[in-house]
Structure 1
Amino acid sequence: MIKLASLTVFAVALGATGLQAADSPWLVRVRAVSIQPANKSDAIPALAVPADAIHVSNKTIPEVDFSYFFTPQFSAELILTVPQQHDVTLSGTKIGTFKHLPPVLSAQYHFLPDATFNPYLGAGLNLTLISDVDIKVPGVGALDLSKSSVGLSAQAGVDIKVADRLYLNLDVKYVKLGADVKLAATGTKVSAVQLDPMLFGVGLGYRF
């Protein structure tokens, strides 16, 4: 009887451990993300610069995100990367570079948490930190950008189960992101750019 009770306790413990592992709230993804800015900018009449003449280059970056599941349907996702450098052009001519760090925190709803094909929608907040601005316009001098931008984000994606705990992820985000363009010497605003990038991601996720 004692042996039977011991075996029963052991079996229950194994079952609980297995259930806990299967229901782990953490999902970590590694993605390659293509950043494609909208490149809308104000005209600068004093410099004869037309609207939408300031462009920021597209770029593909590595990204890691961490998701925590409060329930099988609801989760929070934080995406992280390292500062990324972009080229800046004015009417097609390169005028410099800058770096930005764009973490995004999103709340997500997963429609089919127990299915192989699990689509989700998300909405959240982006904080972009801008640094290492090196932009110069001939005849005007050095330009500077706002040091930070806060904006809303929207997201749609799908996790496709390919093995136990392993998922193929496809994801697209829209991020509201803007910056003032200023004369570096005086801080006078001369224009504003609305980057508002689309982020297209593909990667792998692991559920712990």
Structure 2
Amino acid sequence: MHIRSLMLGAAAIAGALATPAQAKQGDVLIRLRGIMVAPNEKSGSILPAFPGEKVSVDNAVTPELDFTYMATDHIGFELIAATTKHSASGRTGTTGSLGKLASTWVLPPTLTAQYHFLPDGKIRPYVGAGVNYTVFYNEKASGALEGAVGDTKVHMSDSFGLAGQAGVDIQLNDRMFLNLDVKYIDIDTTTRLSTTAAGVQKVRVHLDPFVFGVGVGFKL
């Protein structure tokens, strides 16, 4: 009888250890993801000198850190921190022949309110919506552009927009989980190119990137 009791106790302890950690009210979740920022850009013309000539923006991959505070078992608030570097290139005509026109670093802190559907489950999907403020910094003209028009100063206006997301947490052990996440962020900017030979040129770009992420998370 004593041996049976010990076996039952050991089984209970093993079961408890195997039980997935649950995202509960008051928990703080930390995720470390690798993300790809893929602009879904729509560009206006480079005006006034190059009507009809537009720009494209490349993808970027970077690590990202985010924090989620669970206000209730189902409602969480996530803040992400990451920065990426992107290049803008001409598509056609004169600017297209130059290729890369400018580069910039992008800092897009995004706050979303999330609804977690199955906080007690091993697989926990969620959706979210929120706001984003994007800062463009360290903007630089390319060597090809400055070789064609002389010294060029680049300025990109900051952006405020909405964001949406969907994702899932998959429990790996009592504290760690795998995370898959995708976001859509509304980012618009006006780029101002102040050049020696061509004067001031402006182009309006709707970047609107998808942000695809995969990583691991921990419950504090």
Cα offsets for 1:122-152 (capped at 9, x unmatched):
0011111111111253348625333411110
Report the AA paired with residue 96 of structure 1: A
Q: Is the 8 A contact 2:47 2:202 kept in 1?
A: no
Q: Residues 172 and 22 from structure 1, CA distance in 2 versus in 1: closer, same or farther, beyond 3 angstroms?
A: closer
Q: Which residue of 2 aligns with 1:110?
A: 116
How far the C-alpha of 1:179 sits from its partner, in A, is 0.6
- Does residue 25 (structure 1) correspond to residue 27 (structure 2)? The answer is yes
Indicate the residue corresponding to 2:38 in structure 1. Answer: 36
Gaps of 5+ in 2: 1-21
Distance 1:60 1:131 in 2: 17
Displacement after TM superposition at 1:39 (Å): 2.0
Task: Give the direction of change, closer, same or farther, for the CA distance of 1:184–1:48 in structure 2 (3 Å limit).
Answer: closer
TM-score, normalising length: structure 2: 0.77
Deviations 1:42-93 (A, max 9, x none): 0236433536x31121011100000000111000000012x42212211251
Match of 2:134 in 1: 128
Contact 2:30–2:67 (Cα < 8 Å) also in 1? yes
1:161 aligned residue: 171
**Cα 1:141–1:46 shift into 2, 3 Å:** farther
The structure 2 residue matched to 1:170, chosen from 171, 177, 180, is: 180
- Counterpart Cα distance in 1 of 2:208 and 2:151: 26
Cα shift at 1:178 = 0.9
**What are the equivalent positions in structure 2 for 1:1-208 lying under 5 Å apart?**
23=24, 25-44=27-46, 46-50=48-52, 53-81=54-82, 83-91=83-91, 93-135=99-141, 137=145, 138-139=148-149, 142=152, 144-184=154-194, 190-208=202-220
Question: What corresponds to 2:19 in structure 1?
Answer: none
Render the CA deviation track for 1:14-63: whole Å, top value 9, x for unaligned. Answer: xxxxxxx9845100000000000012110236433536x31121011100
Deviation at 1:181, TM superposition (A): 1.7
Aligned to 2:7: none
User: SS of the counterpart of 1:47?
Assistant: coil
Question: What TM-score does the superposition give when structure 1 sets the normalisation length?
Answer: 0.81
Q: Distance in 2 between matches of 1:179 and 1:45?
A: 15
Contact 1:36 1:58 (C-alpha < 8 Å) held by counterparts: yes
Question: Secondary structure of the residue that 2:172 maps to in structure 1?
Answer: strand
Question: 1:156, 1:101 → 2: CA distance?
Answer: 21
> Aligned-pair distance for 1:97?
1.1
The whole-number CA distance in structure 1 between the counterparts of 2:129 and 2:151 is 39
- The amino acid of 1:38's aligned partner reads N
